[in-house]
Structure 1
Amino acid sequence: MTNDIYGPFPGGHDFLAALTQGQRTRYEELGANLEVVERRIVAACEAAGRPRRDVTLIVVTKTYPAEDSALLAALGVRDVAENRDQDAAPKAELCRNLPLDWHFVGQLQTNKVRSVVRYANHVHSVDRVRLAESLSAAVLKAGRPELGCLVQVALDKEAGEGEGRAGVAPSEVRALADAIADTPGLRLDGVMTVAPLAGPLAGDPARAFERLAEIATAVRASHPAATMVSAGMSGDLEQAVAAGATHVRVGTAVLGVRSPLG
C-alpha cells in the first residue's frame, strides 16, 4: 500500500483507484463485514430501546496490518483498539495522519506506558494504582492532553477466582476509580470488562454485563463524567448493548478469524 493511503484520503473513486486489486478486495470485504456488524448493533439497540448513537463501535485491529487500519478509516471507522504496544506503536505511527482514535485494551506493563501515551487516547485496562501513576508521569512528561482511563473489572475475582488475571475485583473498583480521578493527567472515563471464564458468571455474558452495569452506576454516583461502559465483543455484543454498554470492542466479526498465534 502506498504512503498516500496513510494520509488524507482523496475520497471516493480516486481513493479506490489508488488501491491494488488485492487491497480493493480487502476494502470491500471489510466494508461488507462492517455492514453486518452495524446491523447487529442497530438491532440490539432497538431491542434494548436505546438510540444507535449511544453505542460506539471500536474495531480491534490486533494482529492485523496497518493497511487494514487505513482501509477501515477510509470506510468511516474512527475508533480502533490494540492490545500489544510492540504492534500498536508502529501501526499508529504509520496511520498518524488518519482520523483514528486509538484505544489500548491489553494488559499494560509500566515499562510500556511512555510508548502507549504517544498514540493512545484511551486505556481500557487500568487495574492498579501503580499503573495509573506511571501513566500520569508519562502524560505529564509528554505534555499531551489528559489520557482517558477505564478501570478493568475482573468479574471472576468476585467469586475468589481469576487470580493472576488482569483486572480488579468488583470490591476494589471504587478505590481505583477514585485514585485515577485524583491523578494528574488522567481522566476517569468509566469501566471495562471481558465476559469471565470462571466463577458463577462464566458462560453467561448477559448476567456478567448486567453486573458490570451495576458497578458502572456505582462509579458514576461519585464520578458523573465516567460514562463509558466498555463491554462486549464479536460473540456477545448484543448482550452488552442490552446491559447498557456504551462501547463494544469487535475484532473477528470485522477483520476475520485471527491466526492461533494472534
Structure 2
Amino acid sequence: MRKGSIAENLNSVTERIVTACRFCDRKTDAVTLLAVSKTRPAADLRAAFAAGQRHFGENYLQEALEKQEALTDLDIVWHFIGPLQSNKTRDVATHFHWLHTVDRLKVARRLSEQRPGALPPLNVCLQVNIDGEDSKSGVAPEALPALAAAVAELPNLRLRGLMAIPAPRGENEDQRVPFRRLAALLEALQRQLPEQPLDTLSMGMSGDMEAAIFSGATIVRIGTDIFGARK
C-alpha cells in the first residue's frame, strides 16, 4: 500500500528502475515507467504529472475518456492497457497514443480503419498469453508470427512489440522465466519483420518489475507502488 505522497512514490519507483538497469548493465533511460492509473481520480494523475510522470495507462475506456476530458491541459501520453472489445475500438483509435492488448486481427483492422488521418499511426503491442492461461487474454505464442505479419500490413498502426501478464511467481528467478520467453518471441519477430520498429517489451508490474527489467522490459506498468491499493 502507498505510504508516501504520489511524488515520493514516483521517486522511489524510479530509483528501483535505475538500480535494476545498472545491475544488469542497461542504460538507465532504457525503461519507460507507465503509471497505471485505473480507478484513480483525475487529481491523482495531475499530481503525478506535476511530479514528472508523462505516460499513463488506463484499463477502463469510459473512465479513461472522462479523465482525458478533465486533463486536456496536460500533455499526457495515453496508453490503453485493458481488454478491448471490437465495438469500442473507435474511441481507442481516436483518443490514445498506445494500445498494449491487441490479440485479434479483427480488432487491429478496425483500429487501423478508425484511426483519424490527422493523427500518427497508433502504437500497438500484441498481447501474448505467455503461460497459456484460460483466464487471460492474448494470442498463443504459436499463432503470434501470423498475427504480427498481418498487423504489420495495416497502414494506420505501428507494430511496436509485445505485452504479457504472466501468472504470479514468487521468486525473482522464477519470475524471469516467462519474461525471457516473451523476449525470445520478440527477437524472433524482429528477424521475421526487420522493417518494423519492434523495440518494445511491455512487461512487469509492482511485484515483478526487477525481474522484467533484467529480462529486457522497455515499459513497466506500475500502479500500486505509485497510487496505492485499488479502491
Code of the aligned partner of 2:174: D
Letter in 1 for 2:199: T
| Post-superposition offset of 1:210 | 0.6
Normalising by the residue count of structure 2, what TM-score does the alignment of the two structures yield?
A: 0.92
Shift of 1:197: 5.2
Larger relative contact order (C-alpha < 8 A, sep ≥ 6)?
2
| Aligned residue-pair number | 224
Instruction: Classify the secondary structure of the residue corresponding to 1:70.
Output: helix
Instruction: Report how far residue 222 of structure 1 moved.
Output: 2.6
* Greater alpha carbon shift after TM alignment, 188-197 vs 203-212: 203-212
Tell me the residue number matched to 1:85. Answer: 61
Spell out the pairing of 1:90-239 with structure 2 (5 A cutoff): 90-140=66-116, 143-157=118-132, 162-163=133-134, 165-196=136-167, 204-224=174-194, 225-239=197-211
The normalised TM-score by structure 1 is 0.81
**Structure 1: how far apart are the matches of 2:126 and 2:59?**
15
Q: Which amino acid in structure 1 is aligned with residue 55 of structure 2?
A: D
Could you tell me which runs of 5 or more consecutive residues in structure 1 were left unpaired when the two chains were aligned.
1-25
- Distance (whole Å) between structure 2 residues aligned to residue 222 and residue 246 of structure 1: 20
State whether residues 93 and 112 of structure 2, in contact with CA within 8 Å, keep that contact through their aligned partners in structure 1.
Answer: no
Structure 2: runs of 5 or more not aligned? none
Cα distance in 1, alignment partners of residues 96 and 106 from structure 2: 19
Question: Contact 1:156–1:197 at 8 Å: present in 2 too?
Answer: no
Whose Rg is larger? 1
Residue deviations 1:92-150, cap 9 Å, x none?
1211221210000010001111111222101000000001011111115x642200110
Q: Equivalent residues in 2 for 1:2-151 (5 A)?
A: 29-140=5-116, 143-151=118-126
